[in-house]
Amino acid sequence: MRLSDGAADLVRLLRAAGPLTRAEIGVRTGWARATVNSRLDEVLEHRLVAEAGSENGARGRPAARFEFRSDAGTLLIADVGASAARLAQCDLGGRILAQSQVPVVIGAGPEPVLDAVTEALDTLPSRAAAARPWAAAISLPGPVEQPNGRIVSPPIMTGWDGLEVPAVLGPRLGVPLLVENDANAMAWGEHTVSGYADLVLVKVGTGVGAGIVANGSILRGARGAAGDLGHTYAPADEADVPLCRCGKAGCVEAYAGGWAIARDLTAEGLDVESVGDVTALLTAGEPRAIARVRAAGRVLGASLAQTVSLLNPSEIVVAGQLAVAGEHLLSGIREHVAARSLPLATRSLSIRTSERPNEVGVTGLADQAIRWALEPERLGEVLERAGG
């Protein structure tokens, strides 16, 4: 389906602004009344926009309002971490229609991971009944070079370096594919929900990473490596500095990552193999697990204090599997951020766990995917593939 440029602009406007009357569209765009009417007729004909009730005016009959149709298509979402992937199908407004979770081993290489993602997406229970997909998005726990979706020197993703994921996974899914870093996707999800223009999302699961939203945009850095909090240096008093999975010694992740906590608890005689075992011990109130998580919070807090001084965010949000630790983790973060950052930077700073730690990555990916699908250079291809 081919839309005129003006009609495509109208679709993007209604998606971003919500329901508008013809007059409001004219005010926002500067289009003449006849232009508004012709472009509305075009998007209504293609069922991309629908009437959304009416608004009473000062006189005359109520003015019809128009909104973007979130049910006009769907999005395929894969939020992939180091040890698990959450798969979802969402409508174009980001509402989750169906989801599942499968185990993965990110260090096993791209083929087994992408095979698992493809199979899980194909078997989601909503796939047969829902509208056809417009686009797909996947997040991965490593640096992603934009806009080509190439994985660049990932510390824990053996066999992925240099892979352009859209070229491999896109054809399997049959739709255009967006690739994002996992922590960036989660940070954007928190931004989408909270509206804060400046925030830092800290993902604490098997590993440690951070996504940064600055002035309403994701801060990526020159090569997509911004936010790699887990591989910053954590000054320590002990002489025996632990080795990190990336090959360097003394990284934040080597103290505070789920794998590192599992390592330390195993050394203390507990039967712990994964971050899932750590969270089970926390739920059971195991004092040694709680102590290790509190120590991890202090290490994270020392590193985040520098982040707060550099970026001055409104919020620090903790997500990932270890977010279930709640105050056991947050207390150390708050203590060190307060002690080591300037009062001006911390005066109104909120430090909290995500309200939806398991779904916030899906939320962020879905919002990014529909924005990306509606970009002028891509919308025609998206709609044609979707059969619109």
Show pLDDT as tens, one digit a residue, over the chain (388 residues).
678 899 999 999 999 998 999 999 999 999 999 999 999 999 999 899 999 877 665 555 688 999 999 999 999 999 999 889 999 999 999 999 999 999 999 999 999 999 999 999 999 987 656 778 999 999 999 999 999 999 999 988 999 999 999 999 999 999 999 999 999 999 999 999 999 999 999 999 999 999 999 999 999 998 888 999 999 998 766 668 999 988 899 999 999 999 999 999 999 999 999 999 999 999 999 999 999 999 999 999 999 999 999 999 999 999 999 999 999 999 999 999 999 998 999 999 999 999 988 899 999 999 999 999 999 888 888 888 877 5
**Same-domain pairing of 161 and 200:** no
Same domain, 243 and 351: yes
Identify whether residues 80 and 138 lie together within a single domain. yes
Residue 130: Cβ-neighbour burial (10 angstroms; 0-12, 13-18, 19+): middle
Q: Comparing C-alpha atoms, which of 214, 179, 221 is closest to residue 200?
A: 214
Using alpha carbons, list the distances in angstroms from residue 372 to 176, 180, 224. Answer: 10, 12, 17
**Rounded distance, CA 364 to CA 353, Å?**
16
Rounded-to-integer distance, Cα 388 and Cα 382, Å: 9
Beta bridge partners of 177: 136
Please give the pLDDT value at position 237: 66
Last residue of a domain, one of 17, 36, 68: 68
Looking at the structure, tell me whether residues 243 and 334 fall in a common domain.
yes
Residues 249 and 348 in one domain: yes
- For residue 372, what are its two tokens? 């990306």
199 and 333 together in one domain: yes
Residue 25 belongs to a domain with what CATH number? 1.10.10.10
Q: In which residue are the tokens 């279930």 written?
A: 324
Q: Where among 45, 68, 91 does a domain terminate?
A: 68
Same domain, yes or no: 223 and 352 = yes
Residues in a beta bridge with 49: 68
DSSP 357: T
* CA-derived radius of gyration, the chain: 23
115 shares a domain with 150: yes
φ, ψ at 164 (rounded to 5°): -90, 100
Could you give the CA distance from residue 191 to residue 60 in angstroms, rounded to a whole number? 40
Q: Which of 167, 136, 133, 135 minimizes the C-alpha distance to 150?
A: 167
Report how far residue 372's alpha carbon sits from residue 286's, in angstroms, rounded to the nearest whole number.
45
Q: What is the CATH number of the domain that holds 125?
A: 3.30.420.40
Query: Residue 259 has what pLDDT?
Result: 95
Q: Do 149 and 204 lie in a common domain? A: no
Domain shared by 54 and 154, yes or no: no
Give the domain extent around 319.
194-356
Q: Which residues contact 295 (CB under 8 A, 6 or more apart)?
A: 255, 332
Looking at the structure, do residues 316 and 336 belong to the same domain, yes or no?
yes
User: Measuring CA to CA, how many Å separate 38 from each of 4, 8, 32, 54, 374?
Assistant: 11, 12, 10, 19, 20
Q: Pairing relation of β-strands 144-145 and 133-140?
A: unpaired
Residue where one domain finishes, among candidates 35, 68, 101: 68
366 plus 246 within the same structural domain: no
DSSP 153-200: S-SS-TT-TT-BHHHHHHHHHTS-EEEEEHHHHHHHHHHHHH--SSEE
Q: Please state the domain count of the chain.
A: 3
Helix (H, G, I), strand (E, B) or coil at 34: helix
Predicted TM-score (pTM) above 0.85: yes
